[in-house]
Amino acid sequence: MDFLKVHGDRKLNGDISISGAKNSALPLISSTILAKNSVEISNVPNVVDIKTFLKLIKMLNGSYEFENNRAIINTSTINNTVANYDIVKTMRASILVLGPLLSRFGQCEVSLPGGCAIGQRPVDLHIKALLQMGAEIDIKGGYIKAIAPNGLTGTTIMFDKITVTGTENIITAATLAKGKTKIINAAKEPEVVQLCLELKNSGVEIEGIGTDELTIIGRDRELIEYKPIKVIPDRIEAGTYLCAGAITNSKITLKNVNSEHISSIISKLSQMNFKLDVLENEVTINPTNKILPTEIVTTEYPGFPTDMQAQFMALATQAEGTSIIEERLFENRFMHSSELNRLGADIHLKGNIATIYGKTELYGADVMATDLRASSALVLAGLIAKGKTNIHRIYHLDRGYENIEKKLNNIGAKIDRLRE
């Protein structure tokens, strides 16, 4: 297995180009199941989760080409509607095929995605919503077996909790259903907005885009003629690199970013005494003479994203004072804290509250990645730790960051990818 050797005490300087958003590309790829034509999606990040999802499309007997961040996907040949455990266990976002497969083919079997390191990750809200749309669902042997022999029927769905992939699943299910579906308490993340905009651009009647109440007029299984798509920039990758600039107290400029999508991150860094120059598609972070401690509560968009919590915990170890982080979305998303403490941080946990006492000197050590965003937090800490930090189990990192060591080495980091 690969591991990263991160040489510490580095200053960075230069530009980083942000890739397309993994969490937007995944539902967009899944939504090609609704299309009659071959669909072109550009600015797709070349990361493991994307390659896994494309493999799933192929397992269903769809076809794809993927080169130079451009995917061409044809689902007209799909004749298998079973998303099996082997592929779902490697990527829980596979659950995103449930809605489109069921609404197009009237039946499908999708392996229940297991939990993951950050929490139980149930899909009960996805299932409850599809039952309300007329599906018959049996959960047996670790599989969700769903049928809707006469297709799905639009109705009003009220989500008890805001769920990103739950909202995306119901948007795609509603697209081919009969009649109108209203989703109340819908997720408003930029990736949900892009999915709605691309479907609307291809003729689907959707209202309320960007709000927590969506209305979709179903097409009664009439497939769409999908127009070409360009994936939005990855807001979490962008936030991660801003934190790389912040933690090394360097000047870094992000290119091809959507600054509106990272306004909560920009605001938090400003509160920590960083000065940022913000343009629509370019953001520069500048060095500061003192990093101030912060208080973070993770919440749904447009609030502070849970996917940035680990990165800010690493940064908070360098703040002069005590920072508090409250993780409200996932029940076990603090595992990076013990790894950061191995590097010399002083972080204490009490339930879903982490208290970070700063400023602490960090010293290189062997650490272990536990999930995608925790891995990036360890890279950030390694950049400023004295000596070398070896980060193991970086398959987590490769799921969601395109060429992370290359992008950082291009602006002054020294990160080697080695084999155990």
Q: Which residues would be at the binding site for ligand EPZ (CB under 6 A)?
A: 23, 26, 93, 119, 121-126, 161, 163-166, 306-307, 329-330, 372-373, 400
CB of 84 to ligand EPZ, least distance (A): 19
Compute how many other C-beta atoms are within 10 angstroms of the C-beta atom of residue 380: 28
Return the closest-CA partner of residue 320 out of 353, 346, 285.
346
State the Cα–Cα distance between residues 318 and 192, nearest whole angstrom: 34
Helix (H, G, I), strand (E, B), or coil: what is residue 396?
Answer: helix
CB 11 to ligand EPZ: min, Å: 28
Q: Which is nearer to ligand EPZ, 329 or 381 (CB)?
A: 329
Residue closer to ligand EPZ by CB (options 291, 379) is 379
Task: Give the CA distances from residue 359 to residues 316, 318, 382, in Å, rounded to whole numbers and listed in that order.
Answer: 8, 5, 15
Q: How far is the CB of 406 from ligand EPZ (least distance, A)?
A: 20
Strand order in the sheet with 295-297: 295-297, 321-326, 353-358, 347-350
Q: Whole-angstrom Cα distance, residue 345 to residue 368?
A: 15
- Token pair listed for 17: 């180009």
Token pair listed for 347: 């972080």
**Sequence-ordered strand ranges (E) for 233-286:** 251-255, 276-278, 282-285
DSSP 307-376: GGHHHHHHHHTTSSEEEEEE--S-TT--HHHHHHHHTT--EEEETTEEEEEE----B--EEE--SHHHHH
Q: Give just the sign of the alpha carbon dihedral 216, 217, 221, 222.
A: negative
Nearer to ligand EPZ, 123 or 356 (CB): 123
The token duo for 135 is 């599906």
- Considering the complex, state which of residue 105 and residue 401 has its C-beta at the smaller distance from ligand EPZ: 401
Beta carbon of residue 320, minimum distance to ligand EPZ (angstroms, whole number): 29
In angstroms, give the least distance from the CB of 231 to ligand EPZ: 13
Active-site annotation holds for 196: no
Nearest alpha carbon to residue 379 among 350, 403, 353, 355: 403
CB 244, min distance to ligand EPZ, A: 17
In the DSSP assignment, the letter for residue 142 is T
Q: Which is nearer to ligand EPZ, 124 or 295 (CB)?
A: 124
Instruction: Please report how close the Cβ of residue 373 comes to ligand EPZ at its closest, in angstroms.
Output: 5
Looking at 108, 116, 196, 243, which residue is catalytic?
A: 116
Q: Are 317 and 382 in contact (CB under 8 A)?
A: no
Catalytic positions, written as ranges: 116
